[in-house]
Each structure stands twice: as C-alpha cells, then as structure tokens.
Structure 1
Amino acid sequence: MEIDNQTVNTGPTLSFGPEDLKGVSSNHNDALVIRAMVANYDVARIFVDSGSSVNVLFQEAINQMDLGQYKMEPVVTSLFGFTGHAIRPVGLVHLPLTLGKGNSRKTRIVSFIIVDALSAYNSILGRPSMTTFMAIASALHQKIKFPVGNEIGEVQGDQVIARKCYVEEVRIEQKVTRTDRFVRPGLSSMEKFNLIEDTVVTAEEEIEEIMICPPSGMVKIACTLEAQLKQTLLECLEKNKDVFAWSVSDLVGVHREVAEHKLNVIKGCRPIIQKKRHFGPEKDVVIKEQVDELLRAGHIEEIHFPTWLSNMVLFPKSTGK
C-alpha cells in the first residue's frame, strides 16, 4: 500500500512494507490506537478511524486539560452513529495537534467536535486530521506515516492499549440500555461518525408474540410481515420447534468427546475462597431462581467442602431487568 504526494506537495512517497510489521503481533485485528500531543498535552488512547468524517474529543479528556485560551464554538448539527442514534455535540474547538517525535515531528491546527459521552477513548482522529497531515494509517502495520519536508514521520500504535480499550468499550455498551440511548445517547467511539442535520427518532418495529410450543415456547415476529411470508415462517417454526431450547432443561450440553472446556490455572497457585456476598433482597431472589433452575436441569450440583469458590456476578439485560 502506498501513496505518492508529489501531485499535492513536494515530499517523499509514503509506503508500508514487511519491515513495518516488526514488533507487531501477527494475525491481529486490533484497532489503531496512538498517543499524541493535543494543545501541549500528552493524550493517550487516541483511536485512529479513517471511517469517521470528524475528529472527536471526549468531554472526560477535556476536563483534564486547561483550554481556557481556546474558544469553543457552538455546533448546530448532531453526530450520527451507524447504529442509528444521534447525539448533540457540546461544541467545536480548534487545537494544535502534534504527531511524531524529534526532527520528524509535525504540528497542525485540527478541529475537534466535543462530545459528552462515555468512551474508552480520549479522542478519535478521523479523515479530516489524516488529510491535514497528508498521512496514511495502517491498522495492519499499527502505524501512521506522514511527510515532514523530505523526511517521513511515524507514529506507532499500541496493541496492548487497543485491546484494553476494546474490552472497556464492550463493558460501556453493556451498561447503556436501548432506552438510555434515546433519552441520553451513549455514543460509542468504535462507531463511524458522520456530521448530519438533526434527525427524527422513529419508533421501534412493532412485534407480536405467538405460542409455538406450550407452555413456554413463545416466539416474537414482526407485525409488518406480509401474510404469506408470515404463514411460511410460522410453518417453518412449527416444523422445527424441536431444535429450539425452550427451557434450561432442554440444554443437554455437548458430549465431552466432542468438546471439553478446561481452566488453564497456573500450577502451584493457592486456591481462593471468596466470602459470601449479599446482593440485596431483589438480586438474591433472582440468584436463587437461576440456581434452582440449573439444579433441576442437572447442569450444576452442590458441594459442601469447596477448595475454590467465587461469588455470583449479575449483569442487567437489555430490557433493564
């Protein structure tokens, strides 16, 4: 992959080769996450996203920076993610961004959209910043390259931080329910942002529940399906209802000859027994119901003298339960 900047500016040809893969984990699918100087602040966890049409700076990062000398401008449009929800930006600010080190350093003024939302990242560099620096980014090579006079400047990505950010981003998304996204949108920095005019949020698609396998075999289908398609779908579900697990007891598991899960615990580690936690009356009832159901299905069994013990971990469903 290479680009020749001679048509727009006298400078070197930017290219990536096998030598740029040195130190990069093989067979990865990591995002390109870098650190750079923003308004003379060393900012880590910057996600480089060539699919974003704007540069984003999250409010949490702004709160840790003294930007009194930089005037924030109002933004009348909304940011719109590919998942279908929009968010009103706090404002727009023009800040100096520095990429590279030493003699291969380059500084340009970049426009950032300020967003007040939960994120594992401090900032997102989109297409505008890449164009400003005449840079090309390669997630495969975990590197950005840009011309600095007749030299080539580079910024190396951090795969360890990128993976930590991914895990944290997933956790953030799990905390934001579908309802929350309409009331107080939780903008994910993994999304591709596009600056658009205000949009109207449409209602969710209406669904209806139909009993396929009494007493608990309920399915949900869209009310907008054509009559013939709906009938075909219901016939298919009725014909194949035995392949679904309608209850925990229907999950008979996979034979150990086919697949077996093992915990690769380091030898010599001391077993840990956690003290029993009390989650409160409401959660304790949920835990008891789930445990009793697994006991009846034969998926778990009781032991009286454990050598290793960990407390339950509860996560809310998308419905808020």
Structure 2
Amino acid sequence: MMDASQGYHQIMLAPEDKKRVSFITSVGTFCYTAMPFGLKNAGATYQRLVDKIFRHQIGRNMEVYIDDIGKAQDHVKDLEETFSVLRKYKLKLNPGKCAFGVRGGRFLGFMVTQRGIEANPSKIKAILDMKAPSNVNEVQRLTGRITALSHFISKSTEKSLPFFKVLRRIRNFEWDTSCQQAFEELKDYISKLPLLVKPCPGDTLYLYLSMPPQAVSSVLVREEEGKQMLIYYVSKVLNGAEGRYAPIEKMALALVVTAGNYANTS
C-alpha cells in the first residue's frame, strides 16, 4: 500500500492559471504555484496523472485510486518498477502511510487482504451497536451506514424499504413492527457478511438480476474451479416512473445500474 505525499501539490500549475487560484490575506495577495486541494477537478486531474504514468502497470501488478496505490505479485520486482516511475516523474510518497510486504490493509474504508475484500469491522460494529431509531435523523444515520456496506449486502435496498417509508413520513415518525423486524434481520445479516473478490482479466463473469416491485438488485460473480465467488451486490430503489416500468425495462435499468457500479469500482 502506498500513499502519495500531498499528491495534489505535486502537480505544478501553468503560469497563466496561477492567478485563478489567488487568495487575499492580511499581509497581501498570494497565489498557489501547485494544484491546491478543493478545486472542482483536482481529483480527476490527479487520477489522470497516475493513470497515465502507471498505464503499463495498472491491471497487471497495480491498482490505483486517486493517490493510493495497492501492490501485489512479485513484490520486490513490482516495487522496483513502481519506484522507477515515481523517480522519473518526481512524485513523492508519504512514508507514514505506506506499507510493504503486508498481508492486508485498510483501503478506501475496506479491508483488503490476500483472501479478498472484507467489510470494515468498524462499519459493521456501528450498525450492530445501534439501538432502534427513535427519530428521523437516526433512521438517516442507519440508512447511510447501510449504504456504506451495500456492496456486501444482498438486496440491500429491499432490506431497507421499511426505513425508506419512515423517511417519507417525516412529520409523523413511526417505527412500527415491520421496521423493527427489518432492523433485527439486517443486524443478523451483517454479522456474517461475505468476502468480495476482484475479477481477473479474461474471467467470465455471471450477473444475476432481481426485479421486485419496488427495487432492482443484482449480484456479479466470477467462477473459479466450479465455485462462484462474489464480486459485489448492487441494489437501487425505484423512484417515480421507474416503479411503472415493464419487466424488460426494469431488467435494462438493473443492467445500467450494475454497469455503472462496475465502471466506478473496477
């Protein structure tokens, strides 16, 4: 695991653009000479940089997300190749956030290990420790925590439908028996969340769709030695006109939602 040291600040601004990021202080007006944090397209710009300079390694022995670089396979040789690229483009790492030769680590809020991708235990505990919500804010907090684990939860939207109904009745809050049952079933489910795996180039992937009346859900898997392994779950509540879609249209929507999630996570 490698983390760039103030990655955005390692991209120098074009001279003509420096005036666009000027700021006023009590001792005068100043401007950035390197790309500052907070610019609308800063993240996308940095992503393009690392995608470009590591284009020969991404998907082979490296995965990149903004300024975090996860490594695997032939570790020493891969590190040598990576450091060569970093030196060439004068990019610096933050040694306090780098880890080499480890069996796993936390990445984007998930636990990445040799076995696969595991849900962050702290996110699971946050739900398990919750008491039954007594107001709208607590229900919103619950649904937010469910969303953070949604790729690990089969039909997460369907499991959350009772909570969404509560949120639609803001002025008349009522945590009824259906909500309590869904809450208890959810806790039981997340206490034993599955392991996710990453697809490999050339894998045949299998997609299973579910289209109940109020949501669309899917699960993407890969097969290894006759055993299907979970890549992730996707689920979406149907809003407005989507609820009136014909079955074939719901199927198309499920495909679009799944493809969008795959593009954002692969």
Larger % of strand: which? 1
Structure with more contact order per residue of length (Cα contacts < 8 Å, sep ≥ 6) = 1
The structure that has the greater radius of gyration is 1
Question: What TM-score range do you get, normalising by the shorter chain?
Answer: under 0.3
| Normalised TM-score (structure 2) | 0.26
